[in-house]
Amino acid sequence: MVKYPNGIKRAIVSNKQSTINRGMNLEDDINLSNKYYLDYNIANIHKKPTPIQIVKVDYPKRSSAKIIEAYFKVASTTDYNGIYKGRYLDFEAKETNLKTTFPFSSIHQHQIAHLKNVIHHGAIAFFIIRFNYYNETYLVDASKVIELYDDINCKSIKYSWLQVNGFLIPYSLTPPVNYLKYLDINNKGDFYE
């Protein structure tokens, strides 16, 4: 499923930035990357399904139950988790069309609570944040983001802050967002290749 959410805008940006206009959203890129990690036995990381409250199901045939009334529920955790080098790994991925800030209103309070909790239990926890305007994707430690989030005066992540505190993940084809590589560098661990 290739999506072209901001095709024209991106084309312009990509000329400016000399990056590839791939026309894929962050979720698609991460799902492809996770499939790559799975296929090449590097890690086992999955996006959790969107939580749905099912109200009414129709059974025209037993084999093809049709949901005819359901509602989106608020997720109680982050979207992605899995295992990498024996470690539990947990992250949230977000993109913004803004130029200078990523607003904290895009992150739910319970996602922060969840990340704090898994860090307490020893998880590798981080955010992947994409600024669509620059076609740039960053990996940043969850603990650093949490520190900002807990500062009552701080309502957003500044792009300039992310440039200093995050790791820019260059776009590649295989996989599109090679975040595990930059996680290793960030943690001064061994790169998997």
**C-alpha R_g of the chain:** 18
Q: Which is nearer to a copy of itself, 10 or 114 (CB)?
A: 114
Cα dihedral sign, 113-119-125-129: positive
Least Å distance between CB 174 and a copy of itself?
19
Q: Which is nearer to a copy of itself, 54 or 173 (CB)?
A: 54
- Locate tokens 């790169």: which residue? 191
> Cα(27)–Cα(125) distance, rounded to whole angstroms?
18
Q: Position 131: which residue type? A: F
Q: Does 67 bind a copy of itself (CB under 8 A)?
A: yes
> Cα(91)–Cα(142) distance, rounded to whole angstroms?
8
Tokens of 181: 């590589």
Interacting residue with a copy of itself among 59, 61, 71, 74 (CB under 8 A): 71
Interacting residue with a copy of itself among 32, 38, 106, 186 (CB under 8 A): 38
Please give the DSSP secondary-structure letter assigned to residue 48. P
Interacting residue with a copy of itself among 59, 86, 105, 152 (CB under 8 A): 86
Q: Does 122 bind a copy of itself (CB under 8 A)?
A: yes
Binding site for a copy of itself (CB under 8 A): 38, 41, 43-44, 46, 48-52, 54, 64-73, 75-77, 81-90, 114, 117-118, 120-123
